[in-house]
Amino acid sequence: MSRVFLFCIAEEAKPFIPRLLALDKISYPFILVQSREFPAEADWFKETLADGEPFESDFIGASAADCTAWALEHQVQHNQIDQDKVAIVDARSAEDETIELRFYVRDVVANLLRPGQQSNAWYDFRVPYQKAPRLLTDLPYGDADETYGVYFWRRDGLVDERGVFDVEKAEELILQGEGFVPLDEEAWDGLHGKNEE
């Protein structure tokens, strides 16, 4: 079973980590990255924490870019790591129980991105933590031809005023056949209106 790197970058968010580690362990377990050194097998990443259990992290105060760079460098070191995905818990997570999920989009699917979007780059989605397993399953394991038109072409229109991505609405659009990537941006504008994201 693949596991997703989980980074805690804010001291005040530490109490939130046990809930994330307990979240839907069957479909999408997280593993807590505490050290900038990849652990030996005997010192594997933490997969559970009791409420209030203390832990240390070398990533307190780090940026999201620090976390994603570390993930790209180290994700190939073990076959249980789900590559090109990370979860980040920050100061905002402590306030509103959202987390940031980041996905690295490689050249192999560059043709599915909207014009102007770059491949070999990270894309972020802030979601309520309970919705994280659903988004982690949809990207990239959903049929890319049926999902990228929503998650990348329509992303901005699915983010609310707080910057939170609407996972339910995205899934609804995919079920309605709105997930297909258009042949070009002009075709997209003709189908969905010039200014719709």
Instruction: Burial-class residue 167 by CB neighbours within 10 Å (0-12, 13-18, 19+).
Output: buried
Within a domain: 122: yes
The answer to whether 37 and 31 are in contact (CB under 8 A) is no
pLDDT in tens, 62-80: 999 999 999 999 998 888 8
User: How many domains in the chain?
Assistant: 1
pLDDT single digits (tens) 79-91 = 888 899 999 999 9
| pLDDT on residue 110 | 84
Is the residue at 127 inside a domain?
A: yes
Dist CA 180 CA 145 (whole Å): 5
Percent of the chain with pLDDT over 90: 51
pTM of the model: 0.88
Please give the residue range of the domain that contains residue 130: 3-192
User: Domain of 167: which CATH number?
Assistant: 3.40.50.800
Residues 6+ apart with CB under 8 A from 111: 181
Range name among 96-110, 126-140, 179-193 with the lowest pLDDT average:
179-193
Mean pLDDT of the chain, nearest integer:
86
Decide if 197 is inside a domain.
Answer: no
Please indicate, yes or no, if residue 37 is contained in any of the structural domains. Answer: yes
